[in-house]
Structures are given as structure tokens and as C-alpha cells.
Amino acid sequence: LTGTLIDSAVAGVSYQTNSNLSGLTSVNGSFEYRSGDQVTFQIGGTFLGTVTGGAVITPIELAGVSNTADRRVINIARLLQSLDEDQDPSNGININSTTRSAMAGRSIVFDVPVSSFSSNESVLQVA
């Protein structure tokens, strides 16, 4: 099955399923999974979330909530947009290999006030 990771289409995010499918999301945000799979998304080792595979995955599913105003949803979306190669999420979000490498070993906590997320040292050092 094919799913799509979107805030805008998000390319360059690592994914791994519990049935051993893995790779990077494509230019249109697509990823492969099998029915019932749990899919884990990361950027250079920074954990974004684990979800049940589905046709469309958004920051809402990654955060494991149902409210678009939840601070985790907003902070995940802000991170994805800030890492976009051309800083224009309207044409899709592309996270390149340099950015993925810069994210290696970083642990970013999304469950913090939106006002303090952008001052997080781990975010500032990459974005």
C-alpha cells in the first residue's frame, strides 16, 4: 500500500514499518506500508511519530491527537516547514540529505509551548 505524508507533501523523511519496509518519503510524500503496519517517521534520527499506516498521514496523526490546535501538531508542522530546502512549503517540503545529517542525534520535544519551540537549541542549530 502507498501512503502520503503531508503538511504540504513532505519528501526526505525516513520511515520504517514493523514489516520491514523502509526508505525516504518521495517528492510527493509517498511511503510504502502493508495493511495494519505501524510506521515510524524520523528525520536524521529525530523521532516524529509512529502511526498506523494510512492513505494520508499529517502532523495530527504524528502527534497522536485529534485537535489541529494542539501544540505538538503546530510544533511538528513548524519543524517540517523550517527544514524545507527552499523555505517555500507551498511547493512541497523537501528535507535534503544535509539537513537529515544535521538532525542526526538530536532529540526534539514537541510537547512544549509554541512560543518556546522556536527558541529550542536543537531546532535553532539546524533550521
Give the mean model confidence (pLDDT) for residues 3-27.
98
Residue 113, C-alpha cell as written in the block: 509551548
Residue 127 has pLDDT above 60, yes or no: no
The percentage of residues in the chain with a pLDDT greater than 90, rounded to a whole number, is 83
> Which residue type, as a one-letter code, is found at position 127?
A
Q: What per-residue confidence (pLDDT) applies to 125? A: 65
Q: Enumerate residues 6+ apart whose C-beta is below 8 A from 96.
A: 12, 85
Q: What per-residue confidence (pLDDT) applies to 123? A: 67
Domain that holds residue 84: 2-124
The percentage of residues in the chain with a pLDDT greater than 70, rounded to a whole number, is 94
Total number of domains in the chain: 1
78-118 per-position pLDDT tens digit: 999 999 999 999 999 999 999 999 999 888 899 999 988 87
Burial (CB < 10 A; 0-12, 13-18, 19+), residue 21, is middle
C-beta of residue 59 within 8 angstroms of C-beta of residue 24: no
| pLDDT, mean over the chain | 94
Q: What is the pTM of this model?
A: 0.93
Q: Which of 92, 10, 21, 23 is nearest to 56 (CA)?
A: 10
What is the DSSP secondary-structure string of 57-111? E-HHHHHT-S-TT-HHHHHHHHHHHHT-TTS-GGG-EE--HHHHHHHTT-----S
